[in-house]
Amino acid sequence: MKQIADELVQAGITKVWIDEPLANHTTWRIGGPADLLIQPKDKSSLQKALQILHRHQIPWSVIGRGSNLLVRDRGIRGAVLKVAEGLSHCEFRGEEVCVGAGYSMIRLAMETGKRGLTGMEFAGGIPGTVGGAVYMNAGAHGSDLSRILIDAEILFEDGETKVLTNEEMSFSYRTSLLQKKKGIVVEARFQLRAGDRQEITATLAANKERRRLTQPLQLPCAGSVFRNPPGDHAGRLIEAAGLKGYQIGGAQVSELHANFIVNRGGATATDVLTLIDHIRSTILEKYGIEMHPEVLVVGEG
């Protein structure tokens, strides 16, 4: 990998790490090493990195801030592209906003609120980046990205860039086209509308306070672990099954919110996956409901 790392640096991509522990780059603070971790500084360097990886036939994957992500203990073979600060531009055009994939969703919700634009309040507690949120059609408080996205610029594996409309993104609950067709979100454009700044600010503040009181934000976690089953809430089912506080190794079902698994210290991906399996089998046995994880699991066990 050193030869490829050197080639990337020569191409002007200076943030390159070999055998970098991904625990340093995920909100769960869990994950084995990436053979190669690359953080492009802009769209051009992202394209150059993909070209170099393609030329050497190196497999690649993408992360943002590492929320909603579980990296297995042996890490990820090939290259990991970290889309973060380098793609974090944000431009308001009336009631539209054009945002880079590395921009924080929480910051975006705050910035739109400051401008008296409504539609993004639900995103005030989503800890990831715009790119990750588009990838999984992130949502909260009864809304999601599919309701406000106009289009997204996607860089596909063959190096071709396309702007896909909302309809072409094939959104459904916590999914998009990108689960089926490999690509990287470069930029997204959202349609907002004028609203009452005080009302928007109040909604954001209320959502923030609710998160503070109900979510274990003081411990490393990845957000909600399971999708809500039809007509119910994953957290309610897990709590009703008596699993709040249940712990395997360093991984524990949060005592504050049962749909969060927290890292109490030294948790491994194996601990988390074993705990997820225990929760699923318990809920299936007690209630006959199949639970589906919302977190993306990647890498080698």
**174 part of the active site:** yes
Q: Please pick, among 174, 176, 189, 254, the residue that the annotation labels catalytic.
A: 174
Q: Please pick, among 45, 104, 224, 254, the residue that the annotation labels catalytic.
A: 224
CB 249, CB 270: distance < 8 Å: yes
CB 235, CB 259: distance < 8 Å: yes
Over the range 212-228, which residues count as b (16 or more CB within 10 Å of their CB) and which as e?
eeebeeebbbbbbbbbb
* DSSP string over 233-262: -HHHHHHHTT-TT-EETTEEE-SS-TT-EE
| Rounded-to-integer distance, Cα 4 and Cα 49, Å | 10
| DSSP secondary structure code for residue 175 in this structure | B
**224 part of the active site:** yes
Look up residue 266 and give its amino acid. G
Is residue 22 exposed (0-12), middle (13-18) or buried (19+ Cβ within 10 Å)? buried
Q: Please pick, among 20, 121, 153, 294, the residue that the annotation labels catalytic.
A: 294
CA distances in angstroms from 255 to 36, 94, 182, 229, listed in the order given: 36, 43, 37, 21
Which positions are annotated as active-site residues? 174, 224, 294
